[in-house]
Chains A and B, each alone.
Chain A
Amino acid sequence: MPRAIRSPREPLLDVKEIQGNILAGFNKDQQLLLALTFRDIPAARRWLRRIAGQISSLELVNEFNSLFRKARASLGSDPAGMIATWANIAFSHPGLAKLTSVEDANGVPDGSFQVGLPARAATLRDQDPGGSADPTAHWKIGGTGNVPDVLLIIASDSISELRKAEDRLRPNSGDGPGEPQLIWEELGQTRPDLPGHEHFGFKDGVSQPGVRGRLHAKPDVFLTRRKLAHAAGKMQFAKPGQPLIWPGQFVFGYQSTDRETGDPVEAGKLKPAWLMNGSLLVFRRLQQNVAGFTRFVKDAASTIPGMTPERLGALLVGRWKSGAPVLRAADHDLPALGTSPLVNNDFLFTANSPPPVFLPGIRPPKPFPEAPADAHGLICPHAAHIRKVNPRDQDSDLGDQFDTLTRRILRRGIPYGPPIHDPATDDGVDRGLHFLCYQTSIEQQFETVQLDWANSPNKPTVGGHDVIIGQTSDQRRAFELLTNAGASTQKLTTPTQWVTPTGGGYFFAPSISALRDVLGVGS
């Protein structure tokens, strides 16, 4: 009989304190971002006290998500009547400093947060399309001189409910005089034609880490539901392809993951103490050039014997548009695989994937082709997007699979802008992704993935850039396709980038009590 994972050492998460989008995820079809600046600190505090009770906790969001999943499983489709509307909030370093002190804001243990995204943009190889030396010169939000103090996230299953929540949550004259000023807002929406897919057409958000931690005092009520039996070794999975990671990688004040052993590492002391249960939020407004990507894939495929644009696109990403990994569907898409959550993320890179052993009560999925070992990237190229940003069991320049666990992020992104009508024709419409992710070290997590791996031609393993999100100073990126079982190679070079940052920021998402009792009150 497969044995459930019983790990009483997993910490009890403070579900009433942690904001809900961090560990549970809103997962809504509409998500509005509002950027605000403070004009008057007493007015800002009045506003924060007014809305603090409307900031959604992990407890609320997770319980709704659980009910939603149960209803969907019972109905066989999304339960139309189940609607929830959530809000979360985060502060930039300047915003936090205004509400507390520079010393307290500098207490957030992350140098990149402290200096802010505009100072890091050049390091990330962001480029200004207009040629300015400042990569953020034309950003719509978050560029030099335009850094908001606050990022407010409102998400809902219903656009009308979202707008009502916006009315409730926006600063108003009752908070004033000098209430916080709205300087930018933008609505993100799942694609109506392809829910869950980004604008290039690929299913997004398939691979998310499983966060360890308990929701209740009972030892086996975990935040991340366990579907697999306990495996040999220290690498444990909640479901196939979803490794379990200690929560301190995403929320301050909890055990994090040792980069050499995967063992839990006790949290260091936080100063100020109210950083506990907080998290760091990276926001990037990533504009996507769908026509440019489509044209490249079509043109490049025509230069490779036997290649189709669809397959080349899958090789660049590491997945087919359905979400099916090329390691399990090397030659053509298997849409049923892409939508099978217990299979579509079940693969390693250097070893044959062991057959999963499910816990009692978990119905094994329909069988699909297994994932073979592919250490050299003969099936899934080393520079494929999903391999660059998560090398899984393959060693990187920084360490082994346990080090890679410490680089993982919790992605909460959503597309913005309408889907393109003809993917091969540029219609001039601004569309892309509101990339959002949570972690406790922007330097060691988001920036390492983007800077050290995606932007590099030779890391985490040699084989080219991540041509989906990787950035270089001249926009040209290289991608190596191995042919003839590794005896020869075909090198592709991209003429331009298809993903351009046009806004963003680094933020701290405090606990709900810190929002109410510290930031809303002042010292």
Chain B
Amino acid sequence: MKIDHFDPPGNIDDLGNDAGLKERWSKEMSGIFDDSIERVTQFLQSHGGGTCQFYNPVTGGRTDPDLVPSLGDIPWNGFPKRFGATGPTHPTNFAAAEPKRNPGQARLQDEYLEWHVNRNTADKIVSIHFTCEAWDYFEFLAAQAPDTVVALYQKFINPPVSHAQLKADLFPRETYDRLNKWNTAFGAMHLTHSANNLGAEVFLGASATVRRQEDGVEITQSIPLIRCADYGDDKRNSDPNIGIAVNDLAREKRMITLANPVGLYMADFDGAGITLNGNPAGGFFRVVRGAFPQALRAVFDLPSAEVTAGHSVSDVKIGGQALNFGGQLAERITMHLFGIASVDQAVNNAPMGCGAIPTTSAPALAAAAAAFPHRRLHPRK
């Protein structure tokens, strides 16, 4: 794949017609790719050599053919595996996945999908808001276009405060606070978990192109691979699945990158069997930012007529069972990202031993990193 710039996640129009802003975003993404490639390259060089099989489609784009898109389409379930059922008599712990959050507290949902449940004074669910927008994208926006960030909060969180107060809440000491109260205690504007960022996605993808071996045998299974390469958390649906899918392609000696626009997306929502008073209610799940299969934000709430009739989301049933938690809907959301791999199979790297690829800045990139403080490569931990 060869492109001349990166677009914002989901091709969302936050950047408007500001060509300079769009260019800065593209450079931001390109820098993340370059940082990741630099670190992988250094790792390979310090372990006997090899060619980084991850490439930047803007600065190092390839014009040779790619495999069909479906081979780079990597899905996973949006509900955190760590709270899932662990046996026939150990059911899914929905309550544990969505404890009350206070300002400064990130959510515990670590599959690139987070949600916030709004309840009324009677503790009935009024609405559930899902987001898969990475916090580093919002930090970029906050640094480059703070008024856009305030407008997005006004549109999607709708806090009952003045514009000035909202801006003060979001930018205490004139710096964006991603764990502000409107993104924790009272809403979910974007992802908050430290691992849920685009830099981590790109770095995970780059790291997973490194072939690994243990005791002389190349690793081909997801959990042994992630434990060996240490590029994420083995207790997630996402990280091991992404890692092994990328590594499968790397072991086939292909060149790999992420499709533009880079992002973590809701691929679809399974609304079958969701009812209100016996009538289908799956359609109450609405994508409000982006669109399937690159949905960024969704809401589940009731039409005004149902609210007027005295109903709440708590009256909804999923397959005959009461809807008590946002996680019951998160289980119905398929997440995914898009990789791209070359048809060409020409890079014959030797498998490396175990150990994480360092995330500290390479010296040559230190200055660039300092210039863009929000550009950070976070391991998926």
Interface, chain A (partner B; CB < 8 A): 109-112, 115-116, 119-125, 133, 248-249, 252, 256-260, 265, 267-270, 350-351, 375-376, 382, 393, 395-402, 406, 439-441, 443-444, 451-452, 455-456, 458-459, 461-463, 473, 480, 482, 485-489
B368 in contact (CB, < 8 A) = no
Contact of A350 among B235, B248, B317 (CB under 8 A): B248
B235–A260 touching, CB < 8 Å: yes
Q: How far, in angstroms, from A463 to B69 measured CA to CA in the complex?
A: 10
Minimum C-beta distance from B95 to chain A (A)? 15
Interface, chain B (partner A; CB < 8 A): 65, 67-68, 70-71, 73-77, 81, 84-91, 220-223, 234-235, 237, 240-241, 244-245, 248, 267-268, 270, 272-275, 279-280, 317-321, 334, 336, 343
Minimum C-beta distance from A320 to chain B (A)? 25
A112–B319 touching, CB < 8 Å: yes
Task: Identify 5 new A-B residue pairs, CB closer than 8 A, beyond the known A260-B235, A375-B248, A480-B70.
Answer: A258-B86, A395-B245, A458-B336, A462-B71, A486-B67
Output the nearest chain B residue to A473 by Cβ-Cβ distance: B272
Minimum C-beta distance from B52 to chain A (A)? 21
Q: How far, in angstroms, from A455 to B334 measured CA to CA in the complex?
A: 13
Output the nearest chain B residue to A252 by Cβ-Cβ distance: B88
B89–A109 touching, CB < 8 Å: yes
Contacts A122-B272, A268-B90 given; indicate if A486 touches B75 (C-beta within 8 A).
no
Contact of B343 among A252, A399, A443, A486 (CB under 8 A): A486
Output the nearest chain A residue to B234 by Cβ-Cβ distance: A260
Residues of A within 8 A of B88 (CB): 109-110, 248-249, 252, 256, 267-268, 439-441, 444
A395–B320 touching, CB < 8 Å: no
Q: How far, in angstroms, from A477 to B81 measured CA to CA in the complex?
A: 29
Q: Can you list 20 A-B contacts (CB < 8 A)?
A: A109-B88, A109-B91, A111-B91, A116-B320, A121-B273, A122-B272, A252-B88, A256-B87, A256-B89, A258-B86, A259-B86, A260-B223, A351-B220, A382-B70, A397-B76, A399-B81, A399-B240, A400-B222, A487-B65, A489-B68
Residues of B within 8 A of A122 (CB): 272-273, 275, 280, 319
B334–A397 touching, CB < 8 Å: yes
Q: How far, in angstroms, from A398 to B222 measured CA to CA in the complex?
A: 12
Contact of B73 among A111, A119, A406, A462 (CB under 8 A): A462
Q: How far, in angstroms, from A375 to B91 measured CA to CA in the complex?
A: 32
Q: How far, in angstroms, from A166 to B280 measured CA to CA in the complex?
A: 42
B68–A397 touching, CB < 8 Å: no
A contact patch SS: loop
Q: How far, in angstroms, from A123 to B88 measured CA to CA in the complex?
A: 20
Residues of B within 8 A of A473 (CB): 272
Q: How far, in angstroms, from A443 to B76 measured CA to CA in the complex?
A: 18
Minimum C-beta distance from B213 to chain A (A)? 14
Minimum C-beta distance from A131 to chain B (A)? 14
Residues of B within 8 A of A458 (CB): 73, 75, 267-268, 334, 336
Q: How far, in angstroms, from A110 to B336 measured CA to CA in the complex?
A: 29
Q: How far, in angstroms, from A97 to B307 measured CA to CA in the complex?
A: 35
Minimum C-beta distance from A224 to chain B (A)? 19
Contact of B223 among A375, A400, A463, A482 (CB under 8 A): A400
Residues of A within 8 A of B279 (CB): 133
Contacts A397-B76, A462-B73 given; indicate if A124 touches B272 (C-beta within 8 A).
yes
Contact of A120 among B86, B268, B270, B273 (CB under 8 A): B273
Residues of B within 8 A of A112 (CB): 319
Interface-central residue, B70, B91, B240, B318, by most chain A CB under 10 Å: B70
Contact of B86 among A265, A463, A485, A486 (CB under 8 A): A265
Q: How far, in angstroms, from A153 to B53 measured CA to CA in the complex?
A: 58
Residues of B within 8 A of A461 (CB): 75
Q: How far, in angstroms, from A251 to B272 measured CA to CA in the complex?
A: 29
Q: How far, in angstroms, from A488 to B320 measured CA to CA in the complex?
A: 42
Residues of A within 8 A of B319 (CB): 112, 115, 119-120, 122-123
Output the nearest chain B residue to A120 by Cβ-Cβ distance: B319
Residues of A within 8 A of B76 (CB): 397-398
Q: How far, in angstroms, from A184 to B205 measured CA to CA in the complex?
A: 56
Output the nearest chain B residue to A400 by Cβ-Cβ distance: B222
Minimum C-beta distance from A29 to chain B (A)? 32
B67–A487 touching, CB < 8 Å: yes
B244–A395 touching, CB < 8 Å: yes
Residues of B within 8 A of A252 (CB): 88-89
Contact of B237 among A249, A270, A399, A455 (CB under 8 A): A399
B272–A485 touching, CB < 8 Å: no
Q: How far, in angstroms, from A268 to B240 measured CA to CA in the complex?
A: 28
Interface-central residue, A257, A375, A480, by most chain B CB under 10 Å: A375
B241–A395 touching, CB < 8 Å: yes
A397–B75 touching, CB < 8 Å: yes
B85–A444 touching, CB < 8 Å: yes
B221–A397 touching, CB < 8 Å: no
Output the nearest chain B residue to A135 by Cβ-Cβ distance: B273
Q: How far, in angstroms, from A439 to B85 measured CA to CA in the complex?
A: 15
Contact of A376 among B71, B220, B237, B320 (CB under 8 A): B71
Minimum C-beta distance from B244 to chain A (A)? 5
Residues of A within 8 A of B270 (CB): 451, 455-456
Residues of A within 8 A of B89 (CB): 109, 252, 256, 267-270, 440
B267–A486 touching, CB < 8 Å: no
Contacts A112-B319, A397-B334 given; indicate if A487 touches B241 (C-beta within 8 A).
no
B241–A397 touching, CB < 8 Å: yes
A489–B320 touching, CB < 8 Å: no
Residues of A within 8 A of B73 (CB): 458, 462
Minimum C-beta distance from B248 to chain A (A)? 5
Residues of B within 8 A of A351 (CB): 220
Output the nearest chain A residue to B331 by Cβ-Cβ distance: A452
B222–A462 touching, CB < 8 Å: no
Residues of A within 8 A of B237 (CB): 397-399
Q: How far, in angstroms, from A397 to B268 measured CA to CA in the complex?
A: 13
Residues of B within 8 A of A398 (CB): 76-77, 81, 84, 237
Residues of A within 8 A of B90 (CB): 265, 268
Q: How far, in angstroms, from A252 to B268 measured CA to CA in the complex?
A: 35
